[in-house]
Amino acid sequence: MNFVAPDFMPVLPELFVLILACLVLVIDVFLEQQQRHITYGLAQLTLLGAALLTLATYAQAPTTTMFGHYVKDAMGDLLKLCIYLASAAVFLYSRDYLRQRDLFKGEYYVLGLFGVLGMMIMVSAHSLLSVYLGLELLSLSLYALVAIDRDSPVASEAAMKYFVLGSLASGMLLYGISMVYGATGSVDLQVVADAVAKQGTSNLVLVFGLVFLVVGLAFKLGAVPFHMWLPDVYQGAPTSVTLYIGSAPKLAAFALVMRILVDGLGALQNDWQQMLIILSVLSIALGNLVAIVQSNIKRMLAYSTISHVGFLLLGILAGTPEGYSAAMFYTVVYVLMAVGAFGVVLMLSRTGFEAENIDDFKGLNDRNPWLAFLMMLIMMSMAGIPLLVGFYAKWVVLQAVVDIGLVWLAIYGVAFSVIGAFYYLRVVKCIYFDKAEQSEPIELSRDTGIIISANGLLLVVLGLYPTALMTWCATALLN
């Protein structure tokens, strides 16, 4: 039997990130603490190189390689470009924060790059095996990142909770994968899709496999009632790590749901649609209601994330091309808002002080008017205020739900959006109407100031002109 080597051209970005991450790991060993900026620079160059390779090989048509385990398509390439941008912003925002706390080490950037590699594999997975491989690579990197501050008992506790519950979720997912494999005889998503179309719900093993897969995915997304890890991890992890967890991995999670439920188990849409309706209804309600009573802004943003996951699921459960593109658009927009929100929290923190409470934002307008304005834009966009992109993102998701006749679900989403606006506007009220408890001016490095400004203003630009990004998402999914 002759061995036929797979085509490595489609996987060039992944190979590049893998090689550079290993190189950064080795180089960092020989660097002194004052030379650690070299590690940071190499990490950013890795993301830039991967972005250029992805653009150079941008998929015009889906290409499968690596013996059917990897697919290169337009959806994967668009999500990867968004992952690179989000990760680059995370690395930049975290730089000064890490340096002030003696955490400016190569481990943060190496683990971050391996996490990016895991996300890339998840995004381009064409089999249940590569789905699991990418997910575990990302998860293991995140467990270590949460515990990166070894002297913090809170971070260690958060890492342990994350590890235990994450392992439980991985076990659920693996159990579901094994059941689907047993029912269909393959892990290739195309073969699985064909087998599922023939068998339908007549195969009880396949139905149970679907349930375990949805539970595993809900854990990874942080959907209610599988959300218990998310607020504790967001609060306990160093803010730079919370920024990482709360941004780019959401893009990979969206891809994971699309690959497994839509590409692999699309024939069972009526079954998983009912489960996603329950998850979205619970997530939207609990996320918005519990966020109202939070005084810790990281915990508030964690519950905010849960409510946003509920909206994301609304687009997917619609089961239409418009719903999928709306969910993809929503995910990209949410990541943009989350990077900005946690970025501002990072910038308010300084040596010996963590800006973790909402009260820490009091009088921010007196200390740094521009940063206050950007935070206001981010909060109002998250609340879904018109003319900002958060409003349009919610609008297209709710429109997709209305188009399939679930008007009650759209009304439900609107009602809880109004309720949720309260805790976002409370932060704006603290910024502009409360007296400052801190008097130190907030100074930003020039590159950080430029990127956070672009981050905030992009919410306005995309809110006024959302068509280009929305069209790109729709086109990528049709490819």
Q: Tokens 């609060």 appear where?
A: 235
Spatial CA neighbour of 348 closest among 376, 366, 371: 371
In a domain, 1, yes or no: no
Better pLDDT: 171 or 36: 171
- Give the mean model confidence (pLDDT) for residues 374-401: 93
In a domain, 380, yes or no: yes
Percent of the chain with pLDDT over 70: 98
What pLDDT is recorded for position 103? 82
SS3 content of the chain, % helix, strand, coil (to 5): 80, 5, 20
pTM: 0.94
In a domain, 416, yes or no: yes
What pLDDT is recorded for position 150? 83
In a domain, 44, yes or no: yes
DSSP assigned state of 152: -
Query: What is the number of domains present in the chain?
Result: 1
In a domain, 2, yes or no: no
Which residues are 64's β-sheet partners? 71
Do 286 and 306 form a contact (C-beta atoms < 8 A)? yes
Say if residue 105's pLDDT is above 90: no
The amino acid that residue 465 corresponds to is Y
Question: 345-355, pLDDT tens digit by residue?
Answer: 988 887 667 77
What pLDDT is recorded for position 352? 64
- Give the mean model confidence (pLDDT) for residues 253-277: 90
What pLDDT is recorded for position 20? 94
What pLDDT is recorded for position 351? 63
In a domain, 198, yes or no: yes
Say if residue 254's pLDDT is above 80: yes
Question: 38-85, pLDDT tens digit by residue?
Answer: 899 999 999 999 999 999 988 778 888 888 889 999 899 999 999 999
- Place 366 in a pLDDT band, splitting at 50, 70 and 90: confident
The whole-angstrom separation of Cα 26 and Cα 66 is 28
What pLDDT is recorded for position 26? 92
* Cα 211 to Cα 136, 175, 184, 276, 337, distances in angstroms: 20, 10, 16, 11, 31
- Give the mean model confidence (pLDDT) for residues 249-266: 91
What pLDDT is recorded for position 29? 87
Question: 305-352, pLDDT tens digit by residue?
Answer: 999 999 999 999 988 899 999 999 999 999 999 999 999 998 888 766
In a domain, 424, yes or no: yes
The whole-angstrom separation of Cα 381 and Cα 377 is 6
DSSP characters over 16-83? HHHHHHHHHHHHHHT--GGGTHHHHHHHHHHHHHHHHHHHHT--SS-EEETTTTEEE-HHHHHHHHHH
In a domain, 369, yes or no: yes
What pLDDT is recorded for position 214? 92
Its domain, for residue 259, covers: 9-478
What pLDDT is recorded for position 270? 87
Question: 419-466, pLDDT tens digit by residue?
Answer: 989 999 999 999 998 887 777 777 788 888 899 999 999 999 999 999
Average pLDDT, the chain: 90
What pLDDT is recorded for position 3? 62
Task: Please work out, in degrees rounded to the nearest 5, the angle formed at the alpha carbon of residue 172 by the alpha carbons of 169 and 175.
Answer: 150
Query: Given its phi and psi angles, is residue 319 left (phi above 0), alpha (psi -120 to 50 degrees) or beta?
Result: left
